[in-house]
Amino acid sequence: MKIAMLIKNFVKTGGAERYAVELSTRLARRGHDVHVFAQRWDPDRLAGITVHPIARLHRPRFINSLYYALAARRLVMREPCQFGCRALTHVVAVSEGTRRDILAHYPLDQAAVRVIYPGVNPPDLSPEGVQSSRREIRKQYDLSDEDLVIVFVGSEFKRKGLRYALEALALLLRNRKDDQRSITPHLLVVGRGDPADYLALASQLGIGRQVHFTGLQRDVWPIYAAADVCLLPTLGDTFSLAVLEAMACGLPVIVSRQAGVAELLRHGYNGLLLDDPHDPRLIAESMRRLFSDQSRTEMGCHAKETAAALSWDRMTDEMEALYHEAVRQRTGSQMTDRARRS
């Protein structure tokens, strides 16, 4: 099957980008003829994949996005890269919430919009390997074995709710109970973005020594190994692959209901759900619930079990089946049209 994959950045940083890379790579391994139309790509991810370069405009991002959409469509429809696409038959959403949004804003048949969750395949590290990564990362950021490390993974800090995470951490430190004084929580922030305003806020809140920015990380798995909890009080996310990755590593997660991944969680069982991510008190209370080693271990085990059912191979199976269904529908429609003309 000849498949066109349209993604501006064919790299493994970012949820949509990771989805495209993992799917394209697996489809190519299965013998499909995969063509990627991108402005930027990782040369290490191109085995069996044909790349069609699209120029990048160094203008405001929305202008470049519009240019990319028009240029990609023109290339896809042009020989010799003719994919025969003439009409939309299916739309894939990464969560039920996203599916509802699509149906609310576009005149599509409900049966045409399918939910296929992303996948995750954590590295197969030995317990010794995990502990080695944990020690190395904690040493790098001057964190002790006793510190409670809460990891926040995501660029676009404002939308992901970093401000509320910082305010919650300040509340948590101020209001610790006597039997919790020996536990010092730290926030490890992973992602692309200017930390200046947030470092200033952390200093103003008196938690400057408890907040650490790592920048964008190509390999985030050692960060998860060093962490005890994953926090994402996002104000809106179609899914949030970072949370699923943390779950696959056995971390208990605190996430807002506005994230698509929240559909996989049962409050208090495999994670903690935030009804209002704008409320630092609610976030702080959720953090406090995970001060207990037993609570973190039990919730983390259940989170890992949930994530284990969502592999990238499972996702590829579902996408491949949908591609075949779309081809059958198109073939049947063409045969009907020919019959009518005859």
How many CB atoms neighbour CB 294 within 10 A? 7
pLDDT recorded at residue 334: 55
In this structure, the dihedral spanned by the alpha carbons of residues 36, 7, 260 and 288, taken in order and rounded to 10 degrees, is 110
Please compute the mean of the pLDDT values over residues 259-270 and round it to a whole number. 97
Name all domains of the chain by residue range, CATH numbers in brackets. Answer: 1-85 (3.40.50.2000), 89-119+312-342 (no CATH), 127-308 (3.40.50.2000)
Question: pLDDT tens digits, residue range 115-138?
Answer: 999 999 988 878 898 999 999 999
pLDDT recorded at residue 180: 64
pLDDT recorded at residue 61: 84
Res 178 pLDDT > 70: no
pLDDT recorded at residue 269: 97
Least confident of 13-17, 243-247, 267-271, 273-277: 13-17
pTM of the model: 0.89
What integer best gives the mean pLDDT of the chain? 91
Res 335 pLDDT > 70: no
